[in-house]
Amino acid sequence: MKNRGPDPRAIYRALYKAFGPQHWWPGGVGIEMIVGAILTQNTAWSNVEKAIAKLKKSGLLSVKRLREVRTARLASLIRSSGYFNQKAIKLKAFLSFLDGEYGGSLERMGRETIRALREKLLSVHGIGPETADSILLYAFEKRVFVVDAYTLRIFARHGFLHSRASYDEAQRFFMERLPSRARYYNEYHALIVRTGKEYCRKKPRCGGCPLNRFLRREIRGVKH
């Protein structure tokens, strides 16, 4: 893929200077991060936090207890995350995968290579590229850059990516140009999400955005 626009490290520096460290992942460790990665599909993190809090209060936030709980009960506890019936099934599918491939051990799962584990995760019902990469990066600190809708929107608007860039194209763009460090990827993704929420919305709020100087000319002059 051709290099379009400035070095993406310049975007990182601008965002870090403006916002500082974001201290992500906002969940906990191990299974909590994986549950969060699945529940955050098509919803805000605040809704996921409520669901995770209910799982904790019910003593269910462990591989063993999640395996044992009935799917209907699990769905009722994660209702706040939206699409709760489907997400309960997805969580159960992940647990079946964990048991079948790694004997229920997250530690064994984490010893798998990035390429092999990613391929296996993508075969699990309900796990697509973004969720798989979130699990790899946040649960196992694998060096994988997570691409989401904010990433595609921001970097297309600022001339780094084509507006129709695929997930794989966008991910390759970043991983070929950024330091290969899990913590760097973690922080960058968090900064992108914050920028997307505060400024680069579907209807952009460009005033005061730390990325104004990178904005394409044809967008900069448009009134929003």
User: Over the stretch 47-81, which tens digit does the pLDDT of each residue have?
Assistant: 999 999 999 999 999 999 999 999 999 999 999 99
Please enumerate in sequence order all residues whose Cβ is within 8 A of that of 36, keeping only pairs 6 or more positions apart, or say none: 25, 26, 27, 45, 48, 52, 138
132 and 44 in one domain? yes
Kindly report whether the global pTM for this prediction surpasses the value 0.75. yes
167 and 127 in one domain? no
Domain, as residue range, for 16: 8-22+146-220
Residue 1 lies in a domain: no
Residue 111 lies in a domain: yes
210 and 155 in one domain? yes
Mean pLDDT of 171-186: 96
101 and 57 in one domain? yes
Q: What is the CATH number of the domain that holds 165?
A: 1.10.1670.10
Query: Final residue of a domain: which of 109, 140, 171?
Result: 140
Amino acid symbol at 173: F
Q: What is the CATH number of the domain that holds 41?
A: 1.10.340.30
In the chain, pLDDT over 70 holds for what percent of residues? 91
Query: Final residue of a domain: which of 140, 159, 188?
Result: 140
Measured CA to CA in angstroms, residue 126 lies from 6, 41, 93, 139, 144 at distances of 35, 10, 8, 17, 19
**Do 1 and 173 contact (CB within 8 A), yes or no?**
yes
168 and 134 in one domain? no
* Residue 35 pLDDT class (50, 70, 90 cuts): very high
Please report the pLDDT score of residue 29 as a whole number: 64
Burial of 182 (0-12, 13-18, 19+ CB in 10 A): middle
Residue 2 lies in a domain: no
Locus of tokens 């921001």: 154
* CA atoms of 114 and 208, how far apart (whole Å): 38
194 and 126 in one domain? no
177 and 117 in one domain? no
127 and 74 in one domain? yes
User: Over the stretch 203-221, which tens digit does the pLDDT of each residue have?
Assistant: 999 999 999 998 865 555 4
Please report the pLDDT score of residue 154 as a whole number: 96
66 and 156 in one domain? no
40 and 136 in one domain? yes
94 and 45 in one domain? yes
What is the 3-class SS of 111-151, one letter each residue?
CCCHHHHHHHHCCCCCCCHHHHHHHHHHHHCCCCCCCCHHH
Query: Final residue of a domain: which of 114, 140, 166?
Result: 140
Residue 93 lies in a domain: yes
Mean pLDDT of 125-147: 96
Total number of domains in the chain: 2
In the chain, pLDDT over 90 holds for what percent of residues? 88
185 and 109 in one domain? no
- Distance, CA of 63 to chain centre: 21
